[in-house]
Every structure is written in structure tokens, then in C-alpha cells.
Homo-oligomer: A and B are copies of this chain.
Amino acid sequence: MSRPAAMSGFPEFLPAQRTVELAVIDALTRTFELHGFASVETRAVEPLEQLLSKGETSKEVYVLRRLQADRDGDGGSDAGIGLHFDLTVPFARYVVENAGKLEFPFRRYQVQKVWRGERPQEGRYREFTQADIDIVGRDTLAFHHDVEVARVMAEAMAALPVPRLTLQVNNRRLIQGFYAGLGATDLDAVMRVIDKLDKLPADAVAKMLVAEAGLTDDQASLCLQLAEIRTPDTSFVERVRALGVESSLLDQGLAELAAVVEGCASVSGDRVQVVADLRIARGLDYYTGTVFETLMEGFEGLGSICSGGRYDALATDGRATYPGVGISLGVSRMLVPLLAAGRMTASRSVPSAVLVALVDEESRDRSDDVANRLRARGIPTEVAAAPQKFGKQIRTAERRGIPFVWFPGSTGSGGPGDPGDTEGRADQVKDIRSGDQVDADPDTWTPPTDDLRPQVVVSTLRQAQDDASSTTRNKEQQQ
């Protein structure tokens, strides 16, 4: 095999990077489970007709074909299946398929890979991991679940060792009620144009609101003033009221958005800030009430890394409709740039907290025995692969980031070449960072809690650059 090249759009991690990803996924699922969300996994494939019912995404689908389908003469049996491009379409299908066996409102989390046949570009991948939570009701779903979903995801994100996140919340009823209240007739057109504020200056958008959405200059100005409102608390309500537009849909939207922002107040803080941002519309998606987007500090160019909202009908099976509210975190979208920039790594590339040294091949049982005693008490341990000089074995631990090296003592039997050692030497354990070496018993010794598992190490951008260049230097010196 010649050395294969990485495949564009299909990111893969080295073990230390994968350790960071696992820690992030563990932190997320722990929070989801604390709030009663059950894990669901769906198959990777769906019928094409299911995948294509959202027209806009059709160009992104990977279609599957059995390599030998023609030869077997049953090409039709797999015809029309493709890889899912998100976790919402398969979850909607799962809910309808299993509705009789699920308890509603049904809370589920789902952490899985999804695939999109897009041209790879910065922050876009062909294979990536998403972490979704949704709450789905049968026929009805109370509004307080919107607050719940926002709070759970904010709490989950606050536990992540990533740059500060801002969860921006808005409400479709609020903006549509506002547009209707000021006399707009094509509400979707207004929303579509307002959505362009990300890319176009305000005066250009104002002109488009007149030209494409049929607004007067005054109406357009009010829409832009609405979109400028962004508050970390419920003071947005007053500012909207001050614009003098009224409608009952607007009232409902204001009350709902205020409830979400207020409900997240206790979670909003240094790690995750929850704000009302009246520009968020989630363009073409099918949301009907609450909408979410999330930006990561210093990585705003990635766009939203965690989005979602309320939909009145996630699915319907003719007998019932299933309204839902959900939010989807782009795990790869968030982590791949952070890992590539060296902003996060793990304290070691292996789970092992201890490397048990090996005196000689004949005493491997002795070293294995120490390792098994440590493992029995939950301490990840490996045994040296070969009985090299202890200095070499210590350097092996160092290269893997293993903090402790264990030296088995003599068994006390006093070998023939060691007549003075009839009482045996105790085992010793060395912290190779400090050099401290102490007597230790494999049935009682315990490493500091922080050393038990690999820790996620976060560095600032500046540190990361320094580390990267020093690593390069070290490598050059070694070669």
C-alpha cells in the first residue's frame, strides 16, 4: 500500500484529538441524560423519496448502489436509498414508524454521522457528526418545551471546553406578526430579504424590501429597526413596543421569546450567553415559532454551529401530527477548526494513567499482575512492551503522555543473584513530570483524579502557534 492521502471533506482525528471529541460528546450526552433525553440511533440510509421531500437538499445526497447489483440481477432491491444528510428527517420517520411504542412527549438525543455530497470548503464537510435533541408531542406540544430545549442545549454547551458561545434566539411569530402588523402582505418575502443582512449592507436590504417585498420606505425602515434589536434580557419587548407596531401574533411571539430568554437566564453566563436577536430567521427552514442560532467567539465565520427551532409538524401519518422543538449541534463543525488550530488537545494520546515497567521477559507475569490490580480499581494501565532499560521505558511513557511509571519490586523471595534482598523491595511509582518516586501498593495507590483520564487541554491561539512551532523545532532536532 502506498501512503494514502487524506480525503477532502472527510475529517479524521489522531488519538489525542479523538480523545477531545469523546470528552465533548460525553459532556453533551451526560447533560442530555440528566434532563431525561433518551438515546436513539437511526440507520444511516433512508429511501430517496424521503430524503428528497425537502427539495433544496436534493443536490447533497449520496446515493447507494451495491457494486454487484447488476451481476446479481437484483439491482432493484436497493434502488433508491441514500445516506441521511441530517438527523431530523430520519428521526421524523422513526417517530412515525414507532409511534405506537413511544411515550409522548418524547425526548430524544441522537449523536451520529451525517453525509452531504457538497463541494468541501472551510467549515463544510462531506461526513460530519451532529448532536441533536428534540422533544416531540403527539398532536400537541406545550410551549414550555421550547424553553426546555434551549436551556438543556445551553447547559450542555456551557460544559464544553470551547470558546465562548452565543445562543441567539428569535421567534417566527414575533417577526411575522410584526411584518403583518405594519401592513406587509408577503411575509415570507420580507423574511427572505431580512435574512440577507448577514451579507448585504442595511441600505441595500432596505431597497430590496421595497423592490421585492412591496414595502414602503417607512415599513422597510421599521423592519430594519426590528432586526437591529439584540438584548441579553427581556428588554427587547419594550424596544419592539416602542416601534408602535401591533398584532396579536406579535404579542404571542414577544411573550414566547421573553419566556425563552428568561428561562435561560440562570444558564446564561461566561461560557454561553443567551440573547434575544431579532434578526435570526433561519431562512428556508420550516420553523413556526422559536428559532435558534449559535456563534462561537473567534470563529464567527463558520456561521451557526448550533441551530434549530419549533416546527408545528415534524411529521404526520394521516392519523396524528407530531409537533416538535429541537436543536442540532454541529460537533465536527465546532471541533475540526479548533483541533486544526491547535486550540484544544488531550493531555495524552492513550487512556493509560500508568505504564508498568518490565524488568525482564521472565517477570512479565509480575508486571501483568500489578497492572490487573490497578485496573481492578479503575486505573487504566498498560505494561511495557519490552524489557528495555528503565530510562527507555520512561521515555516511552513520556512520548505517550502517561504520567506514572510503576516499578515492580522484588518478590521478596531473594533470587540467587541477590542474596541480600531476602525481605524484598517494595513496588515504587514515579511521577515522571515531577520526578518524585515513592513506595506504592497496587491494591491501594490511586493517582490524583485529574490524572485518571486524559484531560482536555485548551490553549489560546497564541499559545497554540508557539506550541506548533516548538513541536516542529523538536522534530527537526530529532531527525
Contact = CB atoms under 8 A, between A and B. Distances in A.
A103 interface: yes
A41 interface: yes
B364 A97 contact: no
A68 interface: yes
Interface stretch (A161-169, A379-387, A418-426): A379-387
Interface in A1-18: 1-7, 10-15, 18
Chain A interface SS verdict (over half): mixed
Contacts of A315: 1
Interface stretch (A56-64, A236-244, A407-415, A429-437): A56-64
A50 interface: yes
Interface string A58-82: 1111111111110110000010011
Interface residues of A, number: 91
Contact of A380 (B11, B35, B71, B372): B35
Interface stretch (A107-115, A246-254, A298-306): A107-115
A176 interface: no
A89 to B, nearest CB: 10
Nearest to A110: B18
Contacts of A35: 375, 380-382
A97 B6 contact: yes
A317 B1 CA distance: 5
A386 to B, nearest CB: 7
Contact of A38 (B19, B41, B47, B58): B19
Contacts of A381: 34-36
Given A44-B115, A66-B61, A4 B96 contact: yes
A68 B386 CA distance: 54
Nearest to A101: B14
A43 B142 contact: no
Given A67-B63, A380-B34, A1 B39 contact: no
B352 A1 contact: no
B64 A59 contact: no
A12 B117 contact: no
A158 to B, nearest CB: 13
A469 interface: no
A233 to B, nearest CB: 17
Q: Which 5 A-B pairs have the closest CB atoms?
A: A36-B382, A66-B117, A36-B352, A33-B351, A10-B43
Given A1-B315, A4-B47, A59-B71, 5 more contacts: A19-B38, A61-B66, A62-B64, A103-B349, A107-B382
Interface of A: 1-7, 10-15, 18-19, 22, 33-45, 47-48, 50, 58-69, 71-72, 78, 81-83, 92-94, 96-98, 101-103, 105, 107-108, 113, 115, 117, 127, 142, 144-145, 266, 315-318, 349-352, 364, 372, 375, 378-382, 385-386, 396, 399-400
